[in-house]
Amino acid sequence: MPLNNKTQFIEGSRAISLTVANIRPDVVSAYPITPQTHIVEDLAQMKAGGKADFEYLRAESEFAAASIVVGAAAAGSRVYSATSSQGLILMMEVLYNAAGLRLPLVMTVANRAVGAPINIWNDHSDAMAMRDAGWLMLFAENHQEAVDFHVIAYKLAESHNLPVAINVDGFVLTHSYENVIIPGRQEIKKYLPAYKPAPGTYLNPQKPITLGGFFTPEHYWLEKKKLDEDIKRAASDLSRAYRDWKKILPSPISIKPKFDNGLIEYCGPNKPKTILIAMGSVAGTIKETLKTEKDTGLLKIRSFRPFPAQDLRRIIKNCPRIAVLEKAISAGAYGPLYSELIGSLPGYRGISSNHIIGLGGRDVSVATIKKIINSTGKAGLKFW
Amino acid sequence: MVQIRIHGRGGQGVVTAAELLASSAFLDGLYAQAFPSFGVERSGAPIQSFVRLDKQPIITREQIYHPDILIIQDDSLLAEEEVLAGINKKSILIINSQSNPAELEKLLKNKINRNNIYSSPATAIALELLGKNLVNTVILGSFAQATELISIKSLMAAIADKFAGKGTEIINKNKDAVLKAYQYGKKA
C-alpha cells in the first residue's frame, strides 16, 4: 500500500480502492456488480491479506449492503460502499433513508446504463435515478479527480452529516489505466482527521437515542426543507474543501481552466459563441476537441448536488448558444441535466440545445462533438 | 501524442498488452493511457485495446480511430475490415506474421508502406520459449525495437511487475521471449 504521493500507473478502480483504504473507513460493505467489481474485490483482498483494518461485510444484495453501511454509520462509524446500475436502483429506498437520517455515507457509483435492455456499459442513467434522494453528487473527469473526490467526500459527509456519491464513468474510468497520484495515509489524516461523531448523534447502548422518528405533516416538510438548505449550504464548503485539498495534493493538468471553484470548471475563450455543458469523463474529450474550436468553451459540472445554479448562470448568461451534452435521458422530457440548467437560467435569451450522448457505452468521439458544436444553432433535443 | 491500437483475439491478452505497453512508457517518464474496447470478451473473437502516450497529461477518451501505430497479434485478423480502419500511409504496423514486409504490403494493397511494416515472428518465439502461442508480451519486444517509444529496460520492469504473482519462472520466460523478439528486429 503506498504511503507516499508518488505518481503511479494503475487502473482507475485500483486508484479508488487504494485511496479508500488510506482514508481508513471502519466498515465496508458492498455487493459486486460490473463495472464496480474491481474496486470492492480489491478492498476485500486487502482485508483478507491483513493489509487493511476495516470490517468488510459481505452482503446478499445491494439493498443489504446499503442497509449495513446505514446501520454502521448510525452507530458512529466511517463507512464505504460502491455500486453500479441495477445495484444502485435496488439500494434506492435505503439511499433516501441515509439522507433523511443525515448519515455520512460515502459511496462510489461506477456509472452504468440501466436495463432493460440489459447493457453493462457506461452512461449516467443510474446516477440520475438517485438525484432526488438527498445525496451530494460529484462527477469525476479522470482518475485524479476520482481519487481527490473520495477524500473530499468524507470531509463534507462528516462535517455536514450528509451522504456523498462519487460518480465515476464505468469502464471509461474504472477499467482504464493512467497516471495518478494516490494520497498516503498521513496526507489524508492531516486533511481528514479520524471520524468522531458528536456525542448524542449516534446509536450507543450507553446513551440511547432515537434515529428516524415518525414525523407528522406539521414537521415532515420542515425536515425536508432543512435537508434542502443544508445541501445548498454545503456548496461553499465544497469549494473550500476542494481548494484546501488541491494545496495538499496538487496534480499536473494540461489545460488550465479560466474559472474553477471546485463545483464547476470553465475552459475556453473569454467571450465564447457557444458553451458546452457536461459532466464526467466526456469533459476530457470535449477539451481535446476545443483545441481546434476557438469560439467554444466547456463548462464542466463537478457537483450535480448541490447544483451550482448561481455559478452556472454567471458564466452562461451572455453566451448566445448553450448546449448540454448528457449521458442520460428522462424519457418523454428533456434530459435531466438540461432541464435543471434551463430551470436555473430564467430570462436566458440565447439558443439552448440538449444532446443525448454515450448511452449504453456508445463512444463519444471528437468527430461527434464537432458535429454537436456545428448543430448548436438549432434549439431542441437530439440523440447522437 | 502517439496513438496505438492493438488488435487480437479474446484470450490472447490484448488488454494486458495495452497495459504493459503503457506501463513501460510510464516508467520511461511519459504520460500514458490504456483502455480496452470494453466488449463482452469471448474467446477467439476479435478484440481491440488502445494506448496513448504523450509528454503531457492525456485528456481525450475517445476510442482510437486514426492510429499512428497498429499492433496486430494475429495476422488472420487482417481479414477483418475494422482492423485497418483509420490508417494512413504513415501508420506503422507491427504484426505477428511469417510473411515479410514486402509480402504484407502487397497483401494490404499498399495501404501501408513496406518501410513502415515490422513483421514479428512472435508465434515462433512464443512456442519456443513460452511453450504456447501467447504472443502479447513477445510482440511488445518487436514494438520496442521498431518504434523506440519504450525502452526494453522499462518493458522488462513492467512485465516483472505485472506477472509478480505468477512467479519468477513465468517472468523470466516472458523476458527471454521479449528480448528475442527485440533482437530479431535489430538484425532484420
ipTM: 0.95
- The C-alpha cell at B159 is 512485465
Output the pLDDT for position B188: 55
| pLDDT tens per residue, range A253-303 | 989 999 999 999 999 999 999 999 999 999 999 999 999 999 999 999 999
Which residues does chain B have within 8 Å of residue A171's beta carbon, measured at their own beta carbons?
35-36, 38
Contact A355, A384 (CB under 8 A): yes
3-class SS at B67? coil
Q: Residue A290: CA atoms inside 13 Å, Cβ hemisphere, count? A: 24
Distance in angstroms (rounded) separating the CA atoms of residues A350 and B166:
60
DSSP state at residue A182: P
Mean pLDDT of A337-365: 97
List the domain boundaries for chain A. 7-248, 259-383
Which residues does chain B have within 8 Å of residue A253's beta carbon, measured at their own beta carbons?
57
Residues of B within an 8 Å Cβ radius of A? 18-19, 22-23, 26-27, 31-36, 38, 40, 56-63, 65
Interface test with A, best of B14, B50, B61 (most A CBs within 10 A): B61
Which residues does chain A have within 8 Å of residue B48's beta carbon, measured at their own beta carbons?
none
Pairing relation of β-strands A351-356 and A380-383? parallel
Q: Please tell me which residue of chain A has the smallest CA distance to B55.
A: A254
CB contact under 8 A, B26 and A121: no
pLDDT class of A318 with cuts at 50, 70, 90: very high
Mean pLDDT of B148-170: 97
pLDDT of A358 over the 50 cut? yes
Report the topology of domain A7-248.
Answer: Rossmann fold (3.40.50)
CB contact under 8 A, A285 and B61: yes
Q: Please tell me which residue of chain A has the smallest CA distance to B27.
A: A9
CB contact under 8 A, B59 and A142: yes
Nearest alpha-carbon partner for A381 in A356, A345, A348, A346: A356
How many angstroms separate the first and last alpha carbons of chain B?
28
The residues near B5 (Cβ < 8 Å, ≥ 6 apart) are B48, B49, B50, B51, B64, B67, B69, B70, B71
Pairing relation of β-strands B31-36 and B46-54? antiparallel
Contact A42, A12 (CB under 8 A): no
Mean pLDDT of B67-90: 93
Distance in angstroms (rounded) separating the CA atoms of residues A114 and A102:
27
**Amino acid identity of A11?**
E
Q: Which residues are registered as beta bridge partners of A79?
A: A27
Report the topology of domain A259-383.
Answer: Rossmann fold (3.40.50)
Mean pLDDT of A327-356: 97
CB contact under 8 A, B31 and A366: no
| pLDDT tens per residue, range A87-141 | 999 999 999 999 999 999 999 999 999 999 999 999 999 999 999 999 999 999 9
pLDDT of A2 over the 50 cut? no
**What is the percent of chain A with per-residue pLDDT over 90, rounded to a whole number?**
97
Which residues does chain B have within 8 Å of residue A285's beta carbon, measured at their own beta carbons?
59-62
Which range has the worst mean pLDDT, A3-12, A78-87, A110-119, A188-197?
Answer: A3-12
Q: Which residues are registered as beta bridge partners of A383?
A: A356
Nearest alpha-carbon partner for A352 in A291, A299, A282: A299
Which residues does chain A have within 8 Å of residue B56's beta carbon, measured at their own beta carbons?
252, 254
What are chain B's domains?
2-187 (3.40.920.10)
Interface test with B, best of A45, A169, A177, A325 (most B CBs within 10 A): A177
Largest alpha-carbon pair distance within chain B?
Answer: 44
- The C-alpha cell at A331 is 424519457
Interface test with A, best of B15, B41, B59 (most A CBs within 10 A): B59
Q: Please tell me which residue of chain A has the smallest CA distance to B24.
A: A9
pLDDT class of B187 with cuts at 50, 70, 90: low
When the pLDDT of each residue in chain A is averaged and rounded to a whole number, the result is 96
How many angstroms separate the first and last alpha carbons of chain A?
42
pLDDT of B186 over the 80 cut? no
Q: Which residues are registered as beta bridge partners of A181?
A: A7
Question: Would you tell me how many other CB atoms lie within 10 Å of the CB of residue B40?
Answer: 8
Distance in angstroms (rounded) separating the CA atoms of residues A328 and A279:
11
**Domains A7-248 and A259-383 fall in the same CATH topology:** yes
Distance in angstroms (rounded) separating the CA atoms of residues A148 and A280:
14
Q: Please tell me which residue of chain B has the smallest CA distance to A288.
A: B60
Distance in angstroms (rounded) separating the CA atoms of residues A221 and A232:
17
Which range has the worst mean pLDDT, A13-22, A352-361, B85-94?
Answer: B85-94
Contact A358, A309 (CB under 8 A): no
| pLDDT tens per residue, range B95-144 | 999 999 999 999 999 999 999 999 999 999 999 999 999 999 999 999 99
Rounding to the nearest 10 degrees, give the CA dihedral for residues B42, B44, B50, B51. 120
Q: Identify which of B31, B34, B65 has the shortest CB distance to residue A176.
A: B34
Output the pLDDT for position B174: 97
CB contact under 8 A, A252 and B57: yes
3-class SS at A91? coil
Q: How far is B16 from chain A (nearest CA, A)?
A: 11
**What is the percent of chain B with per-residue pLDDT over 90, rounded to a whole number?**
86
The residues near A342 (Cβ < 8 Å, ≥ 6 apart) are A334, A348, A352
Q: Identify which of A175, A254, A288 has the shortest CB distance to residue B35.
A: A175
CB contact under 8 A, B33 and A178: yes
Handedness of CA A365, A370, A375, A376 (dihedral sign): positive
CB contact under 8 A, A177 and B22: yes
CB contact under 8 A, B62 and A366: yes
Distance in angstroms (rounded) separating the CA atoms of residues B64 and A81:
33
Output the pLDDT for position A1: 35
At residue B183, φ and ψ (nearest 5 deg) are -70, -35
Output the pLDDT for position A6: 84
Mean pLDDT of B72-90: 92
CB contact under 8 A, B19 and A285: no
Question: Would you tell me how many other CB atoms lie within 10 Å of the CB of residue A254?
Answer: 14
Q: How far is B12 from chain A (nearest CA, A)?
A: 18
- What are the C-alpha distances in Å from A297 to residues A157, A269, A315, A322, A373? 32, 6, 10, 10, 10
Contact A205, A29 (CB under 8 A): no
3-class SS at A289? helix
Q: Which residue has the cell 501524442?
A: B1
Output the pLDDT for position B42: 78
Which residues does chain A have within 8 Å of residue B57's beta carbon, measured at their own beta carbons?
179, 252-254
Size of interface A-B (CB pairs under 8 A): 70
Mean pLDDT of A14-30: 98
pLDDT of A3 over the 50 cut? no
Which residues does chain A have within 8 Å of residue B65's beta carbon, measured at their own beta carbons?
365, 367
CB contact under 8 A, A172 and B61: yes
Output the pLDDT for position A4: 43
